[in-house]
Chain A
Amino acid sequence: MGELIVNGSTSARDEAAVRVGGLSRRYGEIRALDAVDLTLDRGITGLLGPNGAGKTTLLSILATVNEPDAGDIKIFGLNPKIHAERVQIRRQLGFLPQELGYHRHFTVAGFLDYVAILKEIVDRRRRAEEVARVLATVGMEGFGRRRIRTLSGGFRQRLAIAQSLLGSPELLVLDEPTAGLDTEQRLRFRELLSNLPGDPVIVLSTHQADDIAAICPRVVVVLDGRIAFAGTPTALADTAAGHVWTATQRDERAHMSWRDGDNQWRHIGDLPPTGSVTATPTVEDGYLLLSHAGGKR
């Protein structure tokens, strides 16, 4: 597989913030990543893929908590295989793992303060400012003294996002950050990411294609440990052009079909159903078509 450059011009390749080449990772017999080449620039990159496709492995390698079996990575020109450079990367990193636990007896501010120290924010006053800033960013002002165990799932997720923002990281690796958030919180999250100062590199893994369409200028689809697509959301949607229709009845030949809110059947497939109308494809359509093709392969 050739190198795919997200948002890629040749000049961008030379200045890429994150460059991954030939990345492979196996867990026993399972091939999680297979010779992945990827280049990421500043801005938000959405990562789409089914469960087990390798997204989390890729993100954990980018977050320097997992090591590939083969391949090279450069993050801001630094090699995470070298201890000193790995520490340098971590100083610029904000990471939200997929399944984050909690120190239930910590207070919200206490937990963030603890994480801030782990991020080497050693000045007490600056730490307090940072904690206040990220709490405000995720809309949790006034929650500082609350015990984490008393928070609802949505607020815990906000807290998880808040910790990743401590220290204004240059690289933000977010694995399914909108899981557990309600609609309003998801919209707030989109707003939050869009307004982050400093134009950091953000890698966002999600199952929510509409999140990708809404805030990601770039999208990468991972299927079976490989990069199946890298480009803009529009380009991903365009891959489904001519493959999406609406009809009044279900067509068995469709790869996928479902009834939408207007009581119309939306079909994704290779052949149009009888009496169907061609529909404008979405990012989700593109992703589903790609997944289906990947599944057949």
Chain B
Amino acid sequence: MTNVRARSVVSLARIEAVHLSRSVPVLSGLMVSGVAMWLITYRSQPLWWSNDWRIGYGQTVISLTVLVGAQLATARSRRDGLQELYESFPTSTGQRTLAHLIGVLGAAPAAVLLVGVAAGAFALQGALGTPDLTTLIGGILLVLAGGVIGVAIGSRFPHPLAGVLGAFVWLLPFSQSNRFNSAIPWLFPWVKPAQLSELPRRLAGYPPALAHALELAAIVVLAGVVALAITSAARRHRVGLLVAGAAGLAGLVVTCLVQLQPIPTRDIDRVVSEAANTGAAQHCTTSEANGHNVRYCLYPAFGSLLPTVQAPVNGVLSLTPVQLAHPLTISQTSGLDIEDSTLTHGHSSQQVTAWRARLQNAPANLPSSSAIYVNLGRWPSGGHQQSVARFDLALGAAEWAVGLPTNTGPPTGLLPTQCVPLNQAREAIAIWLAARATHLPTAQFQGRNGSYSVAAVDGTAVVVWTYPGEISGYFASPGPQTTADGYLLAQAMTKLPTARVLGLLTSNWDSWISPHATNAELASALGITLPAVRLVGPRGQVITPLAPPGSQPQCTT
């Protein structure tokens, strides 16, 4: 290519890049991608080894819209009836296509902006770990690949719907990746691996970021070659395109094969060990609050979480009037799913069975009344979600303080294993302690927090209270099933002066936390009317709850 031709291509590419970056599809894709990223990350703990991949997933939207924008730009001359004029210029169709291909770089600033804003937001949230540059570059390549594919489509199909159709085809893999097992999903443009936020640290090769970025680069090369082959009539270019196409295809095959390689046994073994044998993998510190010793065990990367975990627990302990004999342990646990074949593909079923057995014996899977297991990757970074999580942790600590179980273990079969502190004053005391410890605003506590449902306890229908965050998965398994009676009594207690309630509890703590102390006794001692649960139907009628099938035990110890 002569100097003049090269400069023409560069000048055109510059204009196309500016047009693309300001095009409606790209700008709307930028906004929607930003929203998508926020939606898929705001609920979770910002862990860089998970979120850098989620950033790429969020960029799928802009990849699609860049595809549409690039197709529209490439087919512009034909669609607008200027093809004949353009053919009369010394700049050939092939050169124009090359300019469009280079012009796809105009979408790169939007992709980089998304990465930058997301990284900044995660940094502000105190993201743990460090981002992987290769993964972030992979996300940008995903956007560019969409653009180059758009150019290839536009080179052949000028109709504006061709780009939209192409985007659907490009989108299809994203929506279908969960249908495939093993390492196949890695070959798709981008997927969102479920296990990333269950890992206590970055696991090399999961996902295979470098090979995937190179796969996307190979797709860029191949789509570019297709676009140029469609539009370049010159025979002398054919050889170059053939070589580039062969190189791109070879790159695609090699990178796909690399991504299909199993993760080394020793790497998974180490992760399983860290999840199953938390004592050896975590850093534990013991802190004292109001005479109580609490052991906090966190994975090395999560050390900065300690203050936010300590605060609600210390709040409960500062209100607990007596010294408790059995210490409390707050520990992180991993919800690693060894059944996920993207993690274990290529390994024998015996090996997977062995890993499963080790994970089943993890401490979090065993019932306990002195340990709370915080799921890693679930602790919210701030806002309302964190205040809910703090309440839930405080409730766990309070349940420990009143002698209720703190960890019931995973359910066996379909029935929940949670016991129900039916008509036990200690339940209301625990809820009251958690509310006071976290300074939960009365309005929030009394508002639409949690929900009522009906459970069967010893064959009797009981209205139970699902507290805020109970189903958010902050903890490996919950403590007892709280009842609506206990919640309403605690709610009434929050209206009383704290000193008055504490005074009553301190005077006879052991009696009040006994399973035999009833809600009515506590209400009477506090001089309040015991609130009654009334279930009201949609037309205002009072509903008598019916016991559902199955039965949960009462908390007796």
Residue positions of A touching B, CB distance < 8 A: 60, 63-65, 83, 87, 90-91, 93, 95-97, 99-104, 110, 113-115, 117-120, 122, 124, 163, 173
**Interface contact A120-B91, CB-CB below 8 Å:** yes
- Complex Cα–Cα for A96 and B15 (A): 23
A97 CB to closest chain B CB (Å) equals: 5
**Interface contact B80-A103, CB-CB below 8 Å:** yes
- Tell yes or no: B11 within 8 A of A by CB: yes
Q: A87-B90, A103-B76 are in contact. Are A114 and B85 (CB under 8 A)?
A: no
**Interface contact A118-B89, CB-CB below 8 Å:** yes
**Interface contact A100-B91, CB-CB below 8 Å:** no
Closest residue of chain B to A110 (Cβ to Cβ) is B15
Contacts of A173 in B (CB 8 A): 88
Contacts of B81 in A (CB 8 A): 99-102
Contacts of B499 in A (CB 8 A): none
**Interface contact B88-A117, CB-CB below 8 Å:** no
Contacts of B88 in A (CB 8 A): 63-65, 90, 93, 95, 97, 173
B28 CB to closest chain A CB (Å) equals: 15
**Interface contact B12-A117, CB-CB below 8 Å:** yes
Contacts of B90 in A (CB 8 A): 87, 90-91, 118-120
Residues 1-18 of B contacting A (Cβ, < 8 Å): 4-5, 7-8, 11-12, 15
- Complex Cα–Cα for A87 and B89 (A): 8
Contacts of A103 in B (CB 8 A): 76, 80, 82
Can you list 25 A-B contacts with CB-CB less than 8 angstroms, sorted by A residue number? A64-B87, A83-B234, A90-B88, A90-B89, A91-B90, A95-B88, A97-B88, A99-B81, A100-B85, A101-B80, A102-B81, A103-B82, A114-B15, A118-B86, A118-B90, A118-B96, A119-B90, A119-B91, A120-B4, A120-B5, A120-B8, A120-B89, A120-B91, A124-B11, A163-B85
- Complex Cα–Cα for A91 and B234 (A): 18
Across the interface, B8 reaches (CB within 8 A) one of A64, A90, A118, namely A118
Total contacting residues, chain B, CB less than 8 A: 22
Residue with the greatest number of chain A CB neighbours at <10 A, chosen from B7, B82, B85, B91 = B85
B484 CB to closest chain A CB (Å) equals: 61
- What's the A-B contact tally at a CB cutoff of 8 Å? 68
- Complex Cα–Cα for A91 and B91 (A): 9
Contacts of B87 in A (CB 8 A): 64-65
Across the interface, B12 reaches (CB within 8 A) one of A64, A87, A97, A118, namely A118
Contacts of A91 in B (CB 8 A): 90
**Interface contact B4-A97, CB-CB below 8 Å:** no
Chief secondary structure at chain B's binding surface: helix
Closest residue of chain B to A166 (Cβ to Cβ) is B89
Contacts of B7 in A (CB 8 A): 122
Instruction: With A64-B87, A118-B90 given, name 9 new contacts (CB 8 A).
Output: A65-B87, A90-B88, A97-B84, A97-B88, A103-B80, A110-B15, A117-B91, A118-B12, A122-B11
- Complex Cα–Cα for A229 and B437 (A): 103
Contacts of A118 in B (CB 8 A): 8, 12, 86, 89-91, 96
Chief secondary structure at chain A's binding surface: mixed
Closest residue of chain B to A87 (Cβ to Cβ) is B90
A199 CB to closest chain B CB (Å) equals: 21
Closest residue of chain B to A148 (Cβ to Cβ) is B80
Contacts of A65 in B (CB 8 A): 84, 87-88
Closest residue of chain B to A119 (Cβ to Cβ) is B89
Closest residue of chain B to A95 (Cβ to Cβ) is B88
- Complex Cα–Cα for A119 and B92 (A): 10
Closest residue of chain A to B24 (Cβ to Cβ) is A105
Contacts of B4 in A (CB 8 A): 120, 122
**Interface contact B15-A113, CB-CB below 8 Å:** yes
A261 CB to closest chain B CB (Å) equals: 38
- Complex Cα–Cα for A97 and B92 (A): 17
Closest residue of chain A to B18 (Cβ to Cβ) is A110
- Complex Cα–Cα for A99 and B83 (A): 11
Binary interface encoding of chain B residues 201-225 relative to chain A, with 1 for a CB under 8 A from any of its CBs, else 0: 0000000000000000000000000
Across the interface, B82 reaches (CB within 8 A) one of A83, A90, A100, A122, namely A100
Contacts of A87 in B (CB 8 A): 90, 92
**Closest 4 CB pairs between A and B?**
A101-B81, A122-B7, A118-B89, A95-B88
- Complex Cα–Cα for A118 and B85 (A): 10
Closest residue of chain A to B80 (Cβ to Cβ) is A101
- Complex Cα–Cα for A72 and B450 (A): 87
Contacts of A93 in B (CB 8 A): 88
Contacts of A101 in B (CB 8 A): 80-82
- Complex Cα–Cα for A27 and B96 (A): 28
A86 CB to closest chain B CB (Å) equals: 9
Contacts of B8 in A (CB 8 A): 117-118, 120, 122
- Complex Cα–Cα for A122 and B14 (A): 12
Contacts of B12 in A (CB 8 A): 114, 117-118
- Complex Cα–Cα for A87 and B4 (A): 12
Q: A114-B12, A118-B12 are in contact. Are A104 and B89 (CB under 8 A)?
A: no
Contacts of A104 in B (CB 8 A): 80
Binary interface encoding of chain B residues 1-41 relative to chain A, with 1 for a CB under 8 A from any of its CBs, else 0: 00011011001100100000000000000000000000000
B521 CB to closest chain A CB (Å) equals: 77
Contacts of B80 in A (CB 8 A): 101-104
B225 CB to closest chain A CB (Å) equals: 21
B551 CB to closest chain A CB (Å) equals: 69
Contacts of A100 in B (CB 8 A): 81-82, 85
**Interface contact B15-A95, CB-CB below 8 Å:** no
Binary interface encoding of chain B residues 320-354 relative to chain A, with 1 for a CB under 8 A from any of its CBs, else 0: 00000000000000000000000000000000000
- Complex Cα–Cα for A120 and B10 (A): 11
Closest residue of chain B to A160 (Cβ to Cβ) is B85
A236 CB to closest chain B CB (Å) equals: 29
Contacts of B96 in A (CB 8 A): 118
- Complex Cα–Cα for A253 and B7 (A): 65
A109 CB to closest chain B CB (Å) equals: 12
Contacts of B15 in A (CB 8 A): 110, 113-114, 117
Closest residue of chain A to B5 (Cβ to Cβ) is A120
Residues 22-65 of B contacting A (Cβ, < 8 Å): none
Contacts of B84 in A (CB 8 A): 60, 65, 97
B346 CB to closest chain A CB (Å) equals: 52
Across the interface, B11 reaches (CB within 8 A) one of A90, A102, A117, namely A117
Closest residue of chain A to B15 (Cβ to Cβ) is A114
Residue with the greatest number of chain B CB neighbours at <10 A, chosen from A93, A101, A103, A104 = A101
Residues 80-133 of B contacting A (Cβ, < 8 Å): 80-82, 84-92, 96
Residue with the greatest number of chain A CB neighbours at <10 A, chosen from B7, B11, B76 = B11
**Interface contact B234-A95, CB-CB below 8 Å:** no
- Complex Cα–Cα for A91 and B87 (A): 12
Contacts of B91 in A (CB 8 A): 117-120
A6 CB to closest chain B CB (Å) equals: 22
- Complex Cα–Cα for A119 and B95 (A): 12
- Complex Cα–Cα for A120 and B88 (A): 12
Contacts of B85 in A (CB 8 A): 95-97, 100, 163
